[in-house]
């Protein structure tokens, strides 16, 4: 039986380790500026959804996604060695576009502020 507070702790450990592994050990040049934003682990600890963001064009994002998928087995194996879980979760990579959305909203708000200042004059 899994304790209710365990998945968040496991997610935090996985995020730290995957971030280090991508930075230090994954040598695929297709991985651009990838940032692991957060991890969701299922209650049974069998699946870890790895949310990441990528700075760059849609082509760079697609290349990074392919590189992460190609490195999935390596990352899972290294996670198992480093964290010593009884069962290392399966990794599922998901693009997190929330940063991009926030930047777009901020840009629109700035444009609206500029327009409202022009109308005040």
For 110, residues 6+ apart whose C-beta sits below 8 A from its C-beta are none
Contact 90, 48 (CB under 8 A): yes
Walk me through the domains of the chain, giving residue ranges and CATH numbers.
6-120 (3.30.300.20)
Whether this model's pTM surpasses 0.75: yes
What does the pLDDT profile of the chain (121 residues) look like in tens digits?
445 568 899 999 999 999 999 999 999 999 888 999 999 999 999 999 999 998 888 898 899 999 999 999 999 999 999 998 889 999 999 998 777 777 788 888 888 877 766 666 5
Which pLDDT score, from 0 to 100, does residue 78 have? 96
Residue 50 pairs in a beta bridge with 39, 93
Which pLDDT score, from 0 to 100, does residue 121 have? 57
C-alpha to C-alpha distance for 91 and 72, rounded to whole angstroms: 7
Which pLDDT score, from 0 to 100, does residue 2 have? 46
Contact 32, 95 (CB under 8 A): no
Residue given tokens 């929330």 in the structure block: 98
Contact 48, 9 (CB under 8 A): no
């Amino acid at each position: 039986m899994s304790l209710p507070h365990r998945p968040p702790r496991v997610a935090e450990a996985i995020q730290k380790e995957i971030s280090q592994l991508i930075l230090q050990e994954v040598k695929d040049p297709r991985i651009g500026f990838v940032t692991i934003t957060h991890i969701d682990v299922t209650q049974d600890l069998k699946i870890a959804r790895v949310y990441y963001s990528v700075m760059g064009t849609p082509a760079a994002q697609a290349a990074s996604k392919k590189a992460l998928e190609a490195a999935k087995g390596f990352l899972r194996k290294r996670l198992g060695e480093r964290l010593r879980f009884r069962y290392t979760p399966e990794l599922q990579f998901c693009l997190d576009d929330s940063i991009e959305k926030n930047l777009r909203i901020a840009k629109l708000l700035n444009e609206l502020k500029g327009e409202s200042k022009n109308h005040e004059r």
